[in-house]
């Protein structure tokens, strides 16, 4: 993968900001990705973390759901770990976004509402992941298709 | 114009996916003799999807002037198939093989049509795989990373 060299303007901007923000900006400037915006995997990463958190809460609050949602929590945590590892590797400048804490979800009102909310979220992850797997780089396509497929499977389990 | 099969790496992955689809079509045929009536609808839908994917791969090969791999007359099943559970276990193997083969295609092509087929194949494998895993008693009912060995 080629790393574009930073333009003179972005170097100047980085130098000016260095005083204020310290090491985080050094990493961004060194990498030359500061102007690229978020990595495309950050959205599926956030979705995986949110699903894991929701499945965990649902399993704790509603014992009748525990057996069905515990594997979902485990799988979505594994997805988040794999996606985070790829973003960290490809975009060290996005470490702060990757390491941002997840807001714990409010427990849904009922067991049925929890299962339905989780299923809806998994279907959305299946569809968004499938789209991304079609247009992303080759080496990311397999991972995205795999994540989308697991979400499809768990949506089926909760359906 | 460059075709999706010009690269030998892509071509080999496509042929492997075609081989997996041939085996899946055959496995669906065998399983239909053993699965419960309530699962026959899911099975025939899945069999149709595999035949369609097989046919589109054959068409892709022919368009690229590549000889498509042929189906075997019969396949050796990993375990004897003699009831609904063992038939479903065969389908789990067939679906997992398709997911692995198609995932490999995805990582070897930029062709949007081939990518769409591949993503749909991996997703479909994990979706229908839930039922076959339940019938065969395979855990977990969803692999964490479908398409990975």
CATH number at residue B85: 1.20.1260.10
**Is the ipTM here above 0.90?**
yes
Whole-number Å distance between alpha carbons of B85 and B36: 10
User: CA angle A13-A19-A25, nearest 5°?
Assistant: 60
Cα dihedral: A94, A100, A106, A111 (round 10): 60
pLDDT category at A45 given cuts 50, 70, 90 is very high
CB contact under 8 A, B147 and A71: no
Q: Are B102 and B118 in contact (CB under 8 A)?
A: yes
Q: Do B142 and A154 touch (CB under 8 A)?
A: yes
State the total domains in chain B.
1
B141 domain-assigned: no
* Per-residue model confidence as pLDDT tens digits over A88-130: 999 999 999 999 888 888 889 999 999 999 999 999 999 999 9
The answer to whether position B148 is within a domain reads no
Interchain CB distance below 8 Å, A146 and B109: no
In this prediction, residue A102 carries a pLDDT of 84
Would you say A75 and A154 are in contact if contact means Cβ atoms under 8 Å apart?
A: yes
Which residue from B115, B126, B141 is facing A149, i.e. has the nearest CB? B126
- At B119, which helix (H) or strand (E)? helix B112-136
Which of B108, B127, B143 shows the shortest C-beta gap to A138?
B108
Domain presence at residue B85 = yes
- Axis crossing angle, helix B84-106 with helix B112-136, rounded to the nearest 10: 160
On whether residue B128 sits in a domain, the answer given is yes
How many Å apart are CA B46 and CA B38, to the nearest integer? 14
For residue B107, being part of any structural domain is answered with yes
Burial B16-35 (b: 16+ CB within 10 A, else e): bbbbbbbbbbbbbebbeebb
CB atoms within 10 A of CB A71: 20
The boundaries of the domain holding residue B69 are: 8-135
Nearest to A59 by CA among A102, A121, A101, A108: A108
Q: At what angle do helices A63-90 and A42-61 cross, to 10 degrees?
A: 160
> Is B16 in CB contact (< 8 Å) with chain A?
no
A75–chain B Cβ distance below 8 A for any pair? yes
Domains within chain A, CATH numbers bracketed: 1-36 (no CATH), 42-158 (1.20.1260)
Asked if residue B57 belongs to a domain, the reply is: yes
Out of A74, A75, A153, whose CB is closest to B127? A153
Nearest residue of B to residue A153 by CA position? B127
Among A11-25, A61-75, A126-140, B10-24, the minimum mean pLDDT is found in: A11-25
Give the distance from residue B1's alpha carbon to the nearest chain A alpha carbon, in angstroms. 21
Averages of pLDDT over runs of 10 residues in chain B (149 residues) are: 85 98 98 98 98 98 96 94 98 98 98 97 98 97 96
Q: Is residue B65 part of a domain?
A: yes
Contact A78 B145 (CB under 8 A): yes
On whether any CB of chain B is under 8 Å from the CB of A74, the answer is yes
What count of Cα atoms within 13 Å lies in the side-chain half-sphere of residue A71? 16
Of B119, B141, B143, which is closest to A145 when you measure between CB atoms? B119
The torsion angle over the Cα atoms of residues B103, B108, B111 and B117, rounded to 10 degrees, is -20
Q: What local confidence, expressed as pLDDT, does residue A13 receive?
A: 45
Residue pair B21/B54 in contact (Cβ under 8 Å)? The answer is yes
Contact A121, A50 (CB under 8 A): yes
In chain B, residues with a C-beta closer than 8 Å to the C-beta of A141 are: 106-107, 115, 118-119
Kindly state the average pLDDT of the residues A119-145: 98
Q: What is the DSSP letter of B147?
A: T
Q: Is the dihedral of CA B39, B40, B46, B50 positive or negative?
A: positive
Q: Is residue B145 part of a domain?
A: no
pTM: 0.88
Q: Does A70 touch chain B (CB under 8 A)?
A: no
Q: Chain A closest CA to B132's CA: distance in Å?
A: 12
- The 3 state secondary structure assigned to A62-79 is CHHHHHHHHHHHHHHHHH
Nearest to B123 among A78, A126, A135 (CB): A126
Report d(CA A159, CA B117) in Å as an integer. Answer: 24
């Amino acid at each position: 993968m080629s790393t574009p060299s930073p333009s003179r303007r972005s170097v100047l901007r980085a130098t000016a900001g260095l005083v204020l923000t310290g090491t985080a900006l050094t990493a961004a400037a060194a990498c030359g990705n500061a102007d690229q915006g978020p990595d495309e995997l950050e959205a599926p990463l956030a979705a995986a973390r949110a699903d894991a958190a929701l499945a965990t809460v649902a399993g704790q609050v509603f014992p009748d759901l525990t057996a069905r949602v515990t594997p979902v929590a485990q799988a979505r945590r594994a997805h988040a770990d794999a996606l985070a590892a790829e973003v960290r590797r490809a975009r060290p400048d996005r470490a702060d976004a990757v390491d941002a804490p997840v807001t714990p979800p409010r427990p849904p009102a009922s067991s049925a509402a929890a299962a339905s909310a989780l299923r809806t979220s998994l279907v959305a992850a299946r569809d968004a992941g499938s789209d991304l797997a079609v247009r992303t780089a080759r080496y990311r396509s397999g991972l995205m298709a795999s994540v989308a497929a697991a979400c499809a499977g768990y949506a089926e389990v909760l359906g | 114009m460059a075709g999706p099969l010009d690269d030998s790496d892509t071509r080999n992955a496509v042929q492997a996916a075609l081989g997996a689809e041939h085996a899946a079509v055959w496995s669906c045929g065998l399983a239909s003799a053993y699965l419960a009536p309530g699962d026959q609808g899911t099975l025939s839908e899945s069999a149709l999807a595999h035949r369609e994917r097989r046919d589109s791969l054959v068409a892709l090969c022919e368009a690229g002037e590549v000889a498509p791999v042929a189906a075997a007359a019969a396949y050796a099943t990993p375990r004897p198939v003699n009831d609904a559970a063992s038939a479903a276990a065969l389908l789990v193997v067939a679906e997992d093989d398709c997911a692995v083969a198609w995932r490999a295609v995805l990582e070897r092509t930029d062709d949007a049509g081939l990518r769409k087929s591949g993503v749909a194949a991996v997703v479909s494998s994990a979706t229908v795989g839930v039922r076959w895993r339940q019938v065969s008693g395979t855990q977990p009912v969803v692999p964490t990373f479908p398409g990975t060995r």
